[in-house]
Copies of this chain bind each other. A is one copy, B any other.
Amino acid sequence: MSGLEERLRALEDRACILDLIAGYGPLADSGNGAGIGALWAEGGSYSFEMAGETTTLRGAEIGGLVELESHRELMAAGCAHFLSAPSVRIDGDTATAVNHSVVLVHRDGIWVAERVSANHWTLTRTDDGWRVANRTNALLTGDESARDLLAR
């Protein structure tokens, strides 16, 4: 029996992680900072490129990204934070995932891909289920460092 339970739990872990990551885009585009914050584990971090620099938000700062001037401008224009289904590796109470994200922005009647990024996620099992420990996002502009995020 324990074999079945273990296999079932592995599938539940995977389903939970996929749904967690699938939740990011809808939360970002509806401006739900509290919802974004709740995706992360306590003490978690989110690093991304903005204006040529790497910004790292931690803890309660992460949900605050929806208040950034740059994010507000995207929402006002009309935007989609569109993520691809990640490839996931689970190892006990931690997991890693890699995927792509595209930010599509409404400009002059069509939508333009203004950001296309590689994402590397580290996830952790908490008492409340799986949460993001770290997300690192880098623009795919030809730099090896961004490509390396997808190489795990």
Contacts and interface: CB of A to CB of B under 8 A. Distances in A.
Interface in A1-23: 1, 4-5, 7-8, 11-12, 14-15, 18-19, 22-23
> Interface on chain A toward B: helix, strand, loop, or mixed SS?
mixed
A98 B82 CA distance: 12
B25 A140 contact: no
What 5 pairs between A and B have smallest CB-CB spacing?
A: A26-B150, A111-B113, A30-B151, A78-B141, A78-B142
B83 A84 contact: yes
Interface of A: 1, 4-5, 7-8, 11-12, 14-15, 18-19, 22-23, 25-27, 29-32, 75-80, 82-88, 98-100, 102, 104, 106, 110-116, 118, 139-143, 146-148, 150-152
A140 B30 contact: no
26 contacts: A1-B4, A4-B5, A11-B11, A22-B84, A22-B87, A22-B99, A25-B99, A26-B87, A26-B118, A26-B150, A29-B100, A29-B118, A29-B140, A32-B151, A78-B116, A78-B141, A78-B142, A80-B102, A80-B118, A82-B100, A102-B104, A102-B111, A104-B116, A106-B142, A110-B112, A111-B113
